[in-house]
A and B are shown apart, each in its own frame.
Chain A
Amino acid sequence: MPRFPKPPEGSWTEHYPELGTDPVSYEDSITPEFYEREKAAIFKRAWLNVGRVEQLPRKGSYFTKDVDAAHASIIVLRDREGQVRAFHNICRHRGNKLVWSDDPKQDTAGFCRQFTCKYHGWRYGLDGALTFIQQEGEFFDVDKSRYGLAPVHCDVWAGFIFVNFAREPEQSLREFLGPMVTALEGYPFEKQTARFAYSTTIHANWKLYMDAFAEFYHAPVLHAKQSPEKYSTAAQQAGFEAPHYQIDGPHRMVSTSGVRFWEMDSELVKPMEILTRSGLFGPWDAADLGEMPAGVNPAKCDPWGLDSFQLFPNFVILIWSQGWYLTYHYWPTSYNTHVFEGNVYFLPAANVRERIAQEMAAVTFKEFALQDSNTLEATQMMLETRYIDRFLLNDQEILCRHLHKVVGDWVDDHEGARK
């Protein structure tokens, strides 16, 4: 018997009949050809989150971002009116990368009043306008107003900065995000400015890491040794079940139930968790973030652990019941490599004990993430051998099934529309 009620169809997967229940193929994760199709059909069409407004604290703040999957490199900035804008990071003169420091392959960030090209000194304002040409008289009747920086569609939702590389996006950002995601508005992302940021290169297709964090079926097994034996044995016997899954357009979410570690016998938790009053689920003393918007814990699970919102294509917002949140970004760099970025956000610690609890939560997050990333290279290697081409997914892996389905649908839609 399931611990949590399932939809009337008998399973979460059958509640969304377009997903089917058949074994799936990961052909979409093992070839350079499919990656090229994804670039055109997904990364050049969907709204992509590239950061948060707190990374642009004042007028003239900027950061650069290489987006290999859209074959783009952009400057994101706050202009003189306080507006967040994005431009292609290319000088209109001879095509030099306009903003970079030391190594043009690395992203950079800073503050400036204008951008000056390192090559011949052309200058651009924060509105992208070309303002100065070195030895302008040597050129031939240049109309400077026609040679500003090339803009990129850019919009902000809940403090998250999104860009879209389409010539004209098919949907506004709000339409793209849809009701399930926009119902998170009002969650105090902007107050949680204490940030731990992590980055790593993963030798696997970006979707395989999305899959790894899209299901918790693996948790009692892969992460068993993170906990005292008594706890992990009980967890493995029980298995994992989520109380709620939800799909809205290309986006998906799962809620998990909470665990009251602070009420547990000391044999079930680690000494350092007791000492720091913290662990994987976050500080045991929850941060008070005020009333939650309706989109958080939408099924009102009690006890509630977390919501993981997976925004198509490559962005995850994970909200913990203990009053903190994470973001994940999966930036493809080839069909079998990607850069993973993880961010951990807390309210700024008001005292030493809060800060110690945050440190414990962040270090624990890394220990788990190292285990999660380990399996990926091994999976990629074996999928590429192609001896097996169909794989089973259970009802707790519904979100993996959905991601691969949506990727296929977007590629088909795009290529169908071009025919």
Chain B
Amino acid sequence: MSALLPEEFAALEPFAGKWCLATEQERYGTRLASTTEEMQEFYDAVVPRAEEAMAYLEGLPFDALPDDATNLLHLLYSMIQVSFPVEVWRQPRVPDSGSSSFDCVIEPVP
């Protein structure tokens, strides 16, 4: 299978299939369907590389990112998404949110 991420970020490839997701709905859904341990593992792998990833992406035209760079950006969006269960909640959902939803229906691309 061909790589999803730029080769400089090959170490993050094991997380790419699950977390390179283009929409908030997919990222939030994957968060709710994951365990805190799974998200902690992803968070621990991606956070130390995040500054380098942003610097890499800054070197490319933002309005014409190649596919692998767009995947890397989506991986960073997922990092932000999982940071709440990992840094704050220690569970996938916002506590007491019961059946509440708050669906994202429009978001900027990329």
Contacts and interface: CB of A to CB of B under 8 A. Distances in A.
B77 interface: yes
Contacts of A256: none
A interface, over-half SS = helix
A297 interface: no
A232 to B, nearest CB: 11
A266 to B, nearest CB: 13
Contacts of B81: 363
Interface string A351-366: 1110110111011001
B interface, over-half SS = helix
A394 interface: no
Given A275-B50, A275-B51, A350-B62, A199 B80 contact: no
Given A352-B58, A374-B97, A271 B104 contact: no
Given A272-B87, A363-B81, A199 B105 contact: yes
B80 A197 contact: no
Contacts, number: 98
Given A352-B57, A353-B58, A366 B104 contact: yes
Contacts of A199: 103, 105
A209 B102 CA distance: 14
Interface string B67-109: 0000001001101110110011100001111101111111110
Given A200-B100, A270-B88, A271-B83, A195 B58 contact: no
A197 B89 CA distance: 24
A373 interface: yes
Interface string A335-358: 000000010001011111101101
B39 to A, nearest CB: 12
Given A225-B88, A272-B87, A374-B98, A200 B103 contact: yes
Size bin of chain B's contact surface: 35 or more
A371 B62 contact: no
A351 B55 CA distance: 11
A346 B76 CA distance: 19
Nearest to A201: B101
B10 interface: no
Size bin of chain A's contact surface: 35 or more
Contacts of A271: 47, 83, 87
A198 B97 contact: no
B87 A270 contact: yes
A76 B73 CA distance: 36
Given A194-B108, A359-B80, A353 B54 contact: yes
A350 B58 CA distance: 10
Interface string B27-54: 0100000000000000000010011001
A72 interface: no
Given A195-B108, A225-B89, A349-B108, 15 more contacts: A196-B24, A196-B107, A198-B105, A199-B105, A200-B100, A201-B101, A272-B83, A272-B87, A342-B102, A351-B58, A353-B54, A355-B108, A356-B54, A362-B24, A362-B107
